[in-house]
Amino acid sequence: MKSILTVTALLVLGACATGGPSSNTYSYTAGDTAFTGWVRFSNGEFQLYGDEDQVRRPFSRPCVSGAASRGEMQQAMADLSGQKVRVTGRTVAWSEAGNGRIEHARSDIRNDCGGSFVILADDIRPAN
């Protein structure tokens, strides 16, 4: 009986560790770039998720934090929250953050996703 419980526990832990499909992981690339995913807005920044179900769960990970100009952010928050979007801009390593934030076009990125990089967005629009 003990060995059955041990095997069951290992299977449950293994399932938790896999974390879902690989589409929910973004990787850092220097320079201009584009990301497609589902967006949520919080604390003046956006969080971009690779899978639609993640955007509906609070505190879901992994995600990538970012921000655009204040005007772009206000428009995107009004029209695109929870939607599939394409974000273009450039990435910056989080290690460059001063005082726990990066400012971009009068918007602050606090990196609520806790990732190793953030997106300084020029454009956020619905994905086709």
Q: Write out the residue range of the structural domain in which residue 27 sits.
A: 22-126
CB contact at 8 A, 53 and 37: no
Does residue 7 form part of some domain?
no
pTM of the predicted structure, to 2 decimals: 0.78
Say how far apart CA 113 and CA 121 lie, in whole Å.
16
What pLDDT shows up at residue 15?
Answer: 36
The C-alpha R_g of the chain, in whole angstroms, comes to 17
What pLDDT shows up at residue 13?
Answer: 34
If one counts the domains in the chain, the total is 1
What pLDDT shows up at residue 26?
Answer: 85
**122 Cα distance to chain centroid:** 16
What pLDDT shows up at residue 17?
Answer: 37
Say how far apart CA 15 and CA 70 lie, in whole Å.
40
Residues of the chain with pLDDT under 50: 3-24
What pLDDT shows up at residue 2?
Answer: 52
CB contact at 8 A, 28 and 120: no
The CATH number given to whatever domain includes residue 41 is 2.40.50.140
